[in-house]
């Protein structure tokens, strides 16, 4: 659905009228297109600042150089990275009002600010200062959002702060146009394990098998396209009623379509069957005949040896699992029918848990796999008329926290993405006034695109995002709901 205000505010003839009426003036956001690049930040004027005692400066500099960022000292800046891992006292916070403020004044429109704070600050005052950075980031994000820019925060333990390899994937995402609709967020990086190089020839997901549920449209289709663009083989799953759209997407992506209601009792088994090569046992029998002749007695002995070789075809399994399918059945609690309650719980939550159980029982998730669940800001803030939906989406946030611990030993990460207002069929069905409010109640004064969510999912699916697990990344333009 077209965002008329966004168009009017960015047209030279109508922009003055939008201003005069005091309406929000959303900026057209710059977004990244296409596959990951090894030099993801090439050509981006980037300034790296470090407050005294910062632990991440050297690693950040190395990672930014690897990503091709163009070191800048003055504006206009496309990206500004501020290492605040060394903050120890309230006085140290003055750095934000001094050096950092001067640099923030030089941001280009659609710029990225990324702040780094300590995740293991020693002592009460240092811990308070690390948390101050989060408040600062959220407030700054609301200020720079008017220019289409974003500000986000990474909490780093000391061992992560000193390793460029641990920082590269996160810097590539948060300093590039791929995070256009992610703002005011704080993410924790843990030491990574099973890290793969960020980009291989042909794409970051070459050789990977991905499953995307609810892939026939909206965020699911954008995600399937995004993963396939970087080389993944995608199994696109959706209800049988969506077969036409599903088949055409699978054909476009040279992937596979699976018409499947994820609430079916055998849904997990069907996903296992579709992603693992049927184990075939081929038996080859070779017969060797040896003949020995004893000359003295003129006796001939013939020995026949039969050798049986068994070959078992290798299973491919799942490397990237995106639990995207979801529905809404909105009504206030007192009026909500049993069917409205149960259908939302069954699709949004029970199906995810059941499928995960089936995949675990079959060992279908490969080592170092990536799993992402689609939560929602409704699951964080709660929405009137959505007790069923909010509960199901909050449950997914709990699900990924617990599951990430259970799967950690195999290098598997489990995260959630919580979209805000995204322009899809789901939000297109909202009453007009509610839709308009949903679009504007965020720091960027506009809705996100399905591709914005797909980029966040792709970031979490990368090999070098192994340090992010059990977390929920909001893709909501810093929605005011549950901020």
At 54, is the secondary structure helix, strand, or coil? coil
Length of the chain measured in residues: 483
- The pairs formed by 302-310 with CB atoms below 8 angstroms and a separation of 24 or more are 308/283, 308/284, 309/283, 309/284, 310/281, 310/282, 310/283
Look up residue 199 and give its two tokens.
């980009």
| Local structure of 304: helix, strand or coil | strand
Does 477 participate in binding ligand NAD (rule CB under 6 A)?
A: no
Q: Which is nearer to ligand NAD, 447 or 470 (CB)?
A: 447
Of the ranges 47-55, 93-101, 144-152, 257-265, which one interacts with ligand NAD (CB under 6 A)?
Answer: 257-265
Closest CA to 53 of 91, 107, 104: 91
Is 390 a binding residue for ligand NAD by CB under 6 A? The answer is no
Could you tell me if 421 and 438 are in contact, meaning their C-beta atoms sit under 8 angstroms apart?
yes
Residues whose CB is less than 8 angstroms from the CB of residue 96 and which lie 6 or more positions away in sequence, other chains included: 84, 133, 136
Residue-wise DSSP of 353-380:
HHHHHHHHHHT-EEEEEEEEEE--THHH
Burial class (CB in 10 A: 0-12, 13-18, 19+), 39: middle
> Given the rule CB under 6 A, which of 10-18, 40-48, 201-209, 216-224 is the region that contacts ligand NAD?
216-224
Q: Out of 46, 168, 183, 376, which residue is the one contacting ligand NAD (CB under 6 A)?
A: 376
- Closest approach, Cβ 83 to ligand NAD, in A, equals 33
Closest CB 479 distance from ligand NAD, rounded Å: 10
Task: Please list, in sequence order, all residues whose beta carbon lies within 8 angstroms of the beta carbon of residue 235, skipping any fewer than 6 positions away.
Answer: 209, 210, 211, 212, 255, 256, 258, 271, 274, 275
**Nearest distance from C-beta of residue 229 to ligand NAD, angstroms:** 18
Annotated active-site residue 95? The verdict is: no
Report, in Å, the least distance between residue 214 CB and ligand NAD: 3
Considering the complex, state which of residue 81 and residue 347 has its C-beta at the smaller distance from ligand NAD: 347
- From 152, 185, 263, 469, residue interacting with ligand NAD (rule: CB under 6 A): 263
Q: Give the strand pairing for 150-156 and 318-323.
A: unpaired
262 forms part of the interface with ligand NAD (CB under 6 A): yes
Q: Which residues are 290's β-sheet partners? A: 303
CB of 395 to ligand NAD, least distance (A): 12
Structure tokens at 444: 């960027």
d(CA 474, CA 418): 4
Question: Which range, of 72-80, 136-144, 195-203, 218-226, touches ligand NAD by CB under 6 A?
Answer: 218-226
Query: Quick check: 216 binds ligand NAD (CB under 6 A)?
Result: yes
Q: Which is nearer to ligand NAD, 44 or 329 (CB)?
A: 329
CB closer to ligand NAD out of 60 and 262: 262
Q: Which is nearer to ligand NAD, 327 or 480 (CB)?
A: 327
- Strand 318-323 and strand 299-312: pairing? unpaired
Q: Does 383 bind ligand NAD (CB under 6 A)?
A: no
Answer yes or no whether residue 223 interacts with ligand NAD by CB under 6 A.
no
Here's the x/- map for ligand NAD, 394-423, by CB under 6 A: it reads as: -------------------------x-xx-
Residues between 313 and 372 that touch ligand NAD (CB under 6 A): 324-327, 347
Which residues does the annotation mark as catalytic?
A: 389
Which spans of this chain sit near ligand NAD (rule: CB under 6 A)?
A: 213-214, 216-220, 238-239, 242, 261-263, 324-327, 347, 374, 376, 419, 421-422, 424-427
């Amino acid at each position: 659905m077209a965002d008329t205000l966004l168009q009017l505010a960015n047209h030279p003839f109508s922009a003055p009228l939008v201003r005069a009426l005091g309406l929000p003036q959303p900026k057209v956001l710059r977004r990244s297109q296409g596959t990951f690049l090894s030099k993801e930040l090439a050509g981006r004027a980037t300034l790296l600042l470090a407050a005294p005692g910062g632990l991440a400066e050297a690693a950040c500099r190395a990672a930014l150089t690897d990503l091709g960022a163009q070191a800048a000292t003055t504006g206009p800046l496309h990206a500004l990275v501020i290492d605040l891992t060394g903050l120890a006292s309230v006085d140290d916070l003055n750095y934000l009002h001094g050096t950092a403020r001067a640099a923030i004044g030089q941001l280009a429109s659609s710029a990225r600010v990324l702040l780094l704070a300590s995740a293991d600050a020693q002592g009460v005052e240092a811990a308070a200062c690390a948390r101050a950075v989060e408040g600062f980031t959220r407030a700054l994000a609301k200020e720079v959002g008017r220019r289409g820019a974003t500000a986000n925060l990474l909490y780093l333990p000391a061992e992560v702060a000193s390793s460029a390899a641990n920082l590269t994937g996160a810097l590539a995402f948060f300093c590039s146009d791929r995070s256009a609709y992610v703002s005011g967020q704080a993410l924790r990086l843990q030491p990574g394990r099973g890290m793969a190089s960020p980009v291989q020839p042909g794409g970051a997901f070459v050789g990977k098998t991905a499953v995307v549920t609810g892939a026939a449209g909206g965020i699911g289709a954008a995600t399937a396209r995004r993963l396939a663009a970087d080389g993944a083989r995608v199994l696109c799953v959706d209800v049988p009623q969506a077969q036409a759209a599903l088949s055409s997407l699978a054909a476009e992506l040279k992937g596979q379509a699976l018409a499947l209601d994820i609430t079916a009792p055998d849904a997990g088994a069907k996903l296992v069957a579709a992603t693992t090569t049927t184990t075939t046992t081929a038996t080859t029998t070779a017969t060797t005949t040896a003949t020995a002749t004893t000359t003295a007695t003129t006796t001939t002995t013939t020995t026949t040896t039969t050798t049986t070789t068994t070959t078992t075809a290798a299973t491919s399994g799942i490397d990237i699992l995106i639990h995207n399918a979801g529905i809404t059945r909105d009504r206030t609690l007192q009026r909500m029918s049993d069917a409205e309650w149960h259908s939302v719980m069954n699709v949004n939550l029970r199906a995810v848990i059941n499928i995960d159980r089936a995949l675990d029982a079959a060992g279908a998730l490969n080592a170092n796999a990536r799993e992402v669940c689609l939560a929602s800001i409704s699951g964080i803030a709660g929405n009137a008329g959505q007790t069923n939906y909010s509960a199901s989406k909050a449950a997914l946030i709990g699900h990924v926290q617990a599951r990430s611990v259970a799967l950690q030993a195999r290098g598997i990460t489990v995260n959630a993405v919580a979209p805000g207002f995204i322009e899809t069929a789901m939000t297109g069905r909202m009453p007009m006034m509610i839709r308009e409010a949903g679009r504007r109640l965020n720091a960027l004064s506009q809705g996100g695109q399905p591709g914005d969510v797909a980029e966040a999912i792709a970031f979490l699916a990368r090999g070098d995002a192994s340090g992010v697990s059990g977390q929920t990344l909001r893709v909501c333009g810093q929605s005011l709901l549950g901020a």
